[in-house]
């Protein structure tokens, strides 16, 4: 049965139906009746004749009429038998409320797998377990037992019933918005996040998808789906379980692999998902993004009736990386004409009392500002909506007029307005009018600023997508077969890693510039190679038994003379023997000492939830301590590789500081794309570290490389 058919079910059996008021088996039926579910309801309880006037059945298979789905509210242990009975009846979808599965640890996980097994055998798809239920607002299929859910265009996809309740309550109290569907995803034992996402992408009544996630079973598939979905409608997501204690709590809650690695945020953002960290912003973000056009140029104007709000808003938007450009001279002149001389018009615009006796001037200012072609969106902050309360009752009607005017301007100029009003909680009619015109209104200045910034973030994403170069795999069959030879040789030796020179050979095959190394067996050979090289050299041990060469005293730098080289050779060999007396020493790698440049690190690994990922950062201990690195899920696009460079805080180093020339960023992004290519080409690679890579004004040099293979 498709997910669409489950969510749009026309008949539902409730197993665990009861007359006990505080129980789910009662609330679900009452809500279905109260909310006028358009389909049939079949309570199932062996001990009752009828519940809330509906005939009660002993078991599902006793129901004569066809049944689309079943809601099971009974405890974990009862479920396999119920599913068998549902199979007999030909039901293809089940919503399982019970906790006591994967979230309790290994034993629970086993129980969960067994349940999924029974479901598969009986051709039943499962929502949950450990879910709060599902709601379809179109046919009033409300299996959550929650009344007064507002109908609208936001799809809710959460792993916490309480968070759903929070969001629905907020929608009711503070907006004119509502939901299209609600899914309590629960433990994702069967149906997973990406499957719901695919459905919502196609659903015409859904304009935005709002998600609360604690952990995900298949992050990579989710990303693949999200990447498509966000081009059509925004996904807004709060990921909790960031901290170790949050993980502990989330893990015990959903049983999923909680607290995704730190790559999660970067991966989500790359897929165009709007990632929210503050729960107060979650619903407003969905409200704004489902209501208004995105901002294309990151430029916002602030219109205020008081300096305090204007200043705070300017600080917040700046923190959120929004530009607040000075308005054009023409715009400023027009504003000056209608505002008092004490007003400030560059941007933020502070009307300085100019609206006290006529708040309709807000609408005039808004239009003047929106006409400024350089301005992408408008944030209005302060008292609007409260002039009728604060100054004189009659002004309330003037405000309503202004709301109508502003609402129409949003449509006319196709530019968004977001409004902060101190008086929002007093619910003046003028603010409700703004919401009617899809202008969201917030009583929190922080939330209003965040929301308008998200319109710019989403606009920027959509803009970037269309100019994005497609990633093309450019290795030939020959390169790949040679690379496979290198990897197979290691595997034949039962090694789970490549030796340094093998790793370098591999990446060189794909076009990366590596240091010109020579493998030598004897001291004489080393000396002769060093002489030919000229300048300072580096010696490194080559042994399958020594993975971390420096720790074993297997690296000597800056060797100038023959004496130094011979001494270093002996020391390295001695150290290696001391480190592991049985070490299989393959020789000594002789490399020219690399010129000084900017040291960077590029690493890849296979993440548990997202599959292959890549990391970039500067070299050095300080960067390590400050964790100043950027991540992406592979494969990498050219645009993403450029963004990765800019994302690290120490980016200015790459651009050249204190008289140093800028680094060759093109060579660096090319190297990252090569890494992406290599990871895709050889599924045997578990981890790859190029550390350090030394980058010059022109070109770069991979000085050391490490490749770990899958076991």
Kindly identify the residues of this chain, within the stretch 66-85, that bind a second copy according to CB under 8 A.
none
Applying CB under 8 A, does 697 fall inside the site for a second copy? no
Rounded Cα distance between 64 and 236, Å, is 43
Instruction: Give the DSSP H or E segment for 155.
Output: strand 151-158
Min dist. Cβ of residue 655 to a second copy (A): 10
Min dist. Cβ of residue 565 to a second copy (A): 22
Burial class (CB in 10 A: 0-12, 13-18, 19+), 104: middle
Give percent helix, percent strand, percent coil of the chain, each to the nearest 5: 40, 20, 35
Per DSSP, the three-state class of 243 is coil
Is the CB of 133 or the CB of 241 nearer to a second copy?
A: 241
Applying CB under 8 A, does 581 fall inside the site for a second copy? no
C-alpha torsion 647→649→650→655, nearest 10: 50
C-alpha torsion 525→531→532→537, nearest 10: 90
Applying CB under 8 A, does 328 fall inside the site for a second copy? no
Min dist. Cβ of residue 279 to a second copy (A): 5
Residue of the chain from 87, 93, 133, 348 that contacts a second copy (CB under 8 A): 348
Applying CB under 8 A, does 242 fall inside the site for a second copy? yes
- Which of 434, 357, 365 is CA-nearest to residue 442? 434
Applying CB under 8 A, does 61 fall inside the site for a second copy? no
Applying CB under 8 A, does 656 fall inside the site for a second copy? no
Min dist. Cβ of residue 121 to a second copy (A): 27
Is the CB of 52 or the CB of 165 nearer to a second copy?
A: 165
Per DSSP, the three-state class of 454 is helix
Site for a second copy in 99-128 (CB under 8 A): 99-100, 104
Is the CB of 214 or the CB of 647 nearer to a second copy?
A: 214
Q: What does the DSSP 8-state code read for residue 135?
A: E
Burial class (CB in 10 A: 0-12, 13-18, 19+), 635: middle
Rounded Cα distance between 155 and 183, Å, is 8
**Looking up tokens 């204190």, which residue turns up?**
658
Stretch of residues binding a second copy (CB under 8 A), selected from 456-464, 504-512, 524-532, 624-632: 624-632
Applying CB under 8 A, does 561 fall inside the site for a second copy? no
Residue of the chain from 202, 318, 474, 481 that contacts a second copy (CB under 8 A): 318
Site for a second copy in 288-307 (CB under 8 A): 305-307
Stretch of residues binding a second copy (CB under 8 A), selected from 318-326, 457-465, 526-534, 561-569: 318-326
Q: What is the DSSP string of 597-629?
A: -EEEEEEEEEETTTEEEEEEEE-SHHHHHHT-E
Is the CB of 178 or the CB of 346 nearer to a second copy?
A: 346
C-alpha torsion 316→320→326→331, nearest 10: -90
Buried b (16+ CB within 10 A) or exposed e, 291-300: bbbbbbbbbb
Min dist. Cβ of residue 346 to a second copy (A): 7
Buried b (16+ CB within 10 A) or exposed e, 506-526: bbbbbebbbbebbbbeebebb
Stretch of residues binding a second copy (CB under 8 A), selected from 33-41, 224-232, 444-452, 493-501: 444-452
Name the pairing type of β-strands 134-136 and 179-184.
antiparallel
Rounded Cα distance between 341 and 553, Å, is 75
Residue of the chain from 54, 533, 626, 639 that contacts a second copy (CB under 8 A): 626
Min dist. Cβ of residue 300 to a second copy (A): 11
Residue of the chain from 623, 629, 633, 679 that contacts a second copy (CB under 8 A): 623
Residue of the chain from 70, 95, 276, 445 that contacts a second copy (CB under 8 A): 445
Applying CB under 8 A, does 202 fall inside the site for a second copy? no
Min dist. Cβ of residue 678 to a second copy (A): 28
CA angle at 195 for the pair 235 and 86, rounded to the nearest 5°: 135
Q: How many residues does the chain have?
A: 711
Applying CB under 8 A, does 423 fall inside the site for a second copy? yes
Structure tokens that stand for 104 in this block: 């309790």
Applying CB under 8 A, does 469 fall inside the site for a second copy? no
**Looking up tokens 């046919």, which residue turns up?**
139
Is the CB of 342 or the CB of 522 nearer to a second copy?
A: 342
Is the CB of 316 or the CB of 634 nearer to a second copy?
A: 316
Residue of the chain from 653, 671, 673, 674 that contacts a second copy (CB under 8 A): 653
Q: What is the DSSP string of 252-303?
A: HHH-S-BS--THHHHHHHHTT-EEE-SGGGHHHHHHHHHHSPPPSS-BEEEE
Beta-bridge partner residues of 607? 611
Applying CB under 8 A, does 475 fall inside the site for a second copy? no
Residue of the chain from 278, 474, 488, 698 that contacts a second copy (CB under 8 A): 278
Applying CB under 8 A, does 21 fall inside the site for a second copy? yes
User: Could you tell me if 598 and 695 are in contact, meaning their C-beta atoms sit under 8 angstroms apart?
Assistant: yes
Min dist. Cβ of residue 626 to a second copy (A): 5
Residue of the chain from 383, 537, 589, 700 that contacts a second copy (CB under 8 A): 383
Structure tokens that stand for 507 in this block: 């990446």
Applying CB under 8 A, does 264 fall inside the site for a second copy? no
- First CA to last CA distance, the chain: 38
Applying CB under 8 A, does 357 fall inside the site for a second copy? yes
Name the pairing type of β-strands 598-607 and 611-618.
antiparallel
Is the CB of 245 or the CB of 473 nearer to a second copy?
A: 245
Is the CB of 21 or the CB of 596 nearer to a second copy?
A: 21
CA angle at 46 for the pair 44 and 51, rounded to the nearest 5°: 50
Residue of the chain from 80, 178, 293, 346 that contacts a second copy (CB under 8 A): 346
Count of residues binding a second copy (CB under 8 A)?
87
Stretch of residues binding a second copy (CB under 8 A), selected from 239-247, 457-465, 661-669, 698-706: 239-247
Is the CB of 123 or the CB of 357 nearer to a second copy?
A: 357
**Per-position x/- string for 586-615, each x denoting binding to a second copy as judged by CB under 8 A, each - no binding:** ------------------------------
């Amino acid at each position: 049965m498709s997910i669409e058919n489950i969510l749009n079910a026309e008949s539902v059996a409730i197993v665990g139906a009861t007359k006990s008021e505080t129980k789910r088996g009662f609330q679900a039926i009452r809500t279905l009746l109260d909310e006028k579910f358009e389909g049939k309801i079949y309570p199932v309880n062996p001990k009752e004749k009828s519940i809330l006037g509906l005939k009660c059945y002993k078991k599902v298979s006793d129901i004569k009429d066809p049944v689309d789905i079943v809601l099971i509210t009974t405890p974990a242990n009862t479920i396999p038998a119920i599913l068998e009975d549902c199979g007999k009846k030909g039901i293809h979808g089940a919503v399982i409320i019970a906790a006591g599965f994967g979230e309790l640890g290994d034993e629970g996980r086993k129980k969960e797998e067994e349940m999924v097994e029974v479901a598969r055998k009986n051709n039943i798809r499962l929502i949950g377990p450990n879910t709060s239920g599902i709601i379809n607002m179109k046919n009033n299929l409300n299996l959550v037992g929650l009344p007064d859910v507002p109908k609208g265009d936001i799809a809710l996809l959460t792993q916490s019933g309480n968070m759903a309740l929070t969001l629905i309550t907020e929608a009711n109290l503070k907006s004119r918005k509502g939901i299209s569907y609600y899914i309590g995803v629960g433990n994702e034992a069967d149906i997973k996040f990406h499957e719901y996402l695919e459905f919502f992408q196609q659903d015409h009544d859904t304009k935005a998808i709002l998600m609360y996630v604690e952990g995900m079973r298949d992050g990579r598939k989710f990303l693949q789906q999200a990447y498509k979905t966000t081009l059509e409608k925004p996904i807004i997501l709060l990921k909790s379980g960031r901290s170790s204690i949050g993980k502990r709590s989330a893990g015990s809650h959903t049983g999923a692999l909680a607290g995704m690695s730190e790559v999660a945020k970067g991966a989500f953002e790359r897929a165009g998902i709007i990632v929210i960290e503050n729960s107060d912003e979650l619903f407003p973000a969905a409200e704004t993004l489902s209501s208004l056009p995105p901002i294309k140029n990151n430029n916002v104007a602030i219109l205020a009736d008081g300096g305090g709000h204007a200043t705070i808003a300017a600080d917040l938007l700046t923190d959120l990386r929004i530009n607040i450009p000075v308005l054009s001279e023409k715009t400023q002149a027009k504003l000056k004409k209608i505002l008092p001389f004490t007003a400030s018009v560059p941007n933020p615009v502070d009307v300085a009392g100019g609206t006290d006796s006529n708040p309709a001037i807000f609408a005039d200012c808004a239009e003047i500002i929106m006409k400024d072609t350089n301005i992408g969106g408008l944030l209005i902050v302060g008292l609007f909506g409260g002039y009728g309360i604060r100054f004189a009752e009659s002004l309330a009607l003037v405000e309503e007029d202004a709301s109508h005017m502003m609402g129409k301007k949003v449509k006319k100029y196709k530019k968004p307005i977001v409004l902060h009003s101190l008086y929002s909680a007093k619910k003046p009619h003028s603010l409700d009018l703004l919401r009617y015109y899809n202008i969201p209104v917030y009583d929190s200045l922080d939330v209003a600023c965040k929301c308008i910034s998200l319109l710019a973030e989403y606009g920027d994403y959509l803009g970037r997508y269309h100019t994005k170069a497609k990633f093309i795999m450019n290795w030939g069959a020959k390169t790949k077969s040679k690379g496979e030879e290198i990897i197979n040789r290691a595997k034949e030796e039962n090694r789970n890693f490549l030796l340094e020179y093998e790793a370098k050979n591999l990446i060189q095959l794909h076009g990366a510039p590596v240091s010109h190394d020579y493998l030598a067996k004897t001291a004489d050979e080393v000396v002769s190679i060093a002489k030919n090289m000229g300048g300072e050299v580096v010696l490194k041990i080559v042994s399958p038994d020594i993975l971390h060469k420096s720790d074993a005293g297997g690296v000597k730098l800056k060797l100038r003379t023959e004496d130094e080289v011979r001494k270093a050779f002996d020391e390295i060999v001695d150290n290696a023997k001391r480190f592991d007396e049985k070490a299989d020493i393959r020789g000594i790698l002789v490399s020219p000492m690399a010129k000084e440049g900017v040291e960077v690190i590029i690493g890849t690994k296979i993440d548990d939830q997202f599959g292959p990922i890549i990391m970039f950062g500067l070299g050095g201990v300080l960067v390590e301590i400050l964790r100043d690195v950027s991540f992406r899920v592979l494969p990498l696009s050219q645009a993403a590789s450029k963004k990765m460079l800019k994302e690290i805080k120490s980016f200015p180093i790459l651009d050249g500081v204190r008289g140093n020339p800028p680094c060759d960023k093109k060579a660096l992004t090319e190297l990252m794309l090569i890494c992406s290519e290599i990871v895709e080409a050889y599924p045997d690679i578990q981890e790859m570290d190029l550390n350090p890579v030394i980058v010059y004004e022109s070109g770069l040099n991979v000085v050391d490389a490490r490749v770990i293979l899958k076991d």
